A and B are shown apart, each in its own frame.
Chain A
């Protein structure tokens, strides 16, 4: 297990992470086009689309170990900030009265917890 082997292993992991991140980005944009509703589109872009960037940053951490701190700070910031922004947008859409298509029931309206 010399240094060259470790470098080759890291490059292999980075290649895998780049491919997985590209597939995540493609499926996020596909969900943005194809899904029928604001809330389901928010689900596609907020979770799936975000992980494209996260996997590319994982590839960056594997490829350049000298600047590992910037990549790790960005991963933590994106994982905390992305779902918070998506939740704010979903709450704003519900308060603005945008309808849900193909919805069977609305638990938030029935429970009475949501104040108008």
Chain B
């Protein structure tokens, strides 16, 4: 059972790496500004997924702390960018 779990985790890690490449292409060739910010948001979500997968593969709970910091930072930066686009001021 541990072997099947390890194989599934590694396949999922490879799939998430391909998805990150697709999201970076989307940020590069976006239609407008909001589109690119959506791509960045999805990129942060996929990086969080990859950190959780690495924490599961190596059984090291330090990566979950990194995920916690990345989640808080991503939320605050996306809200600040959205407010800057809507009102043309940051605070």
Contact surface of A with B, Cβ cutoff 8 Å: 8, 11-12, 14-15, 18-19, 21-22, 25-26, 28-29, 32-33, 38, 41-42, 45-46, 49-50, 52-53, 56-57, 59-60, 63-64, 67, 70-71, 73-74, 77-78, 81-82, 84-86, 88-89, 91-93, 95-96, 98
B69 to chain A, nearest CB (A): 11
Give CA–CA (A59, B46) in the complex, Å.
16
Given contacts A25-B16, A26-B15, A29-B23, contact A89 B41 (CB under 8 A): yes
Give CA–CA (A77, B39) in the complex, Å.
20
Given contacts A11-B5, A45-B42, A49-B42, contact A70 B68 (CB under 8 A): yes
A58 to chain B, nearest CB (A): 10
> 3 closest pairs, A vs B, by CB?
A88-B82, A92-B82, A92-B86
Interface of B is mostly: helix
Inter-chain residue pair count (beta carbon < 8 A): 142
Within 8 Å CB of B39, what residues of A? 32
Interface of A is mostly: helix
Task: Find the residue from A14, A21, A89 having the highest chain B CB count within 10 A.
Answer: A89
B19 near A26 with CB under 8 A, answer: yes
Give CA–CA (A31, B81) in the complex, Å.
23
Contact code string B22-52 (vs A, CB < 8 Å = 1, else 0): 1100100001111101110110011011001
Task: Find the residue from A26, A32, A42, A71 having the highest chain B CB count within 10 A.
Answer: A32
Contact code string B76-90 (vs A, CB < 8 Å = 1, else 0): 001100110111000
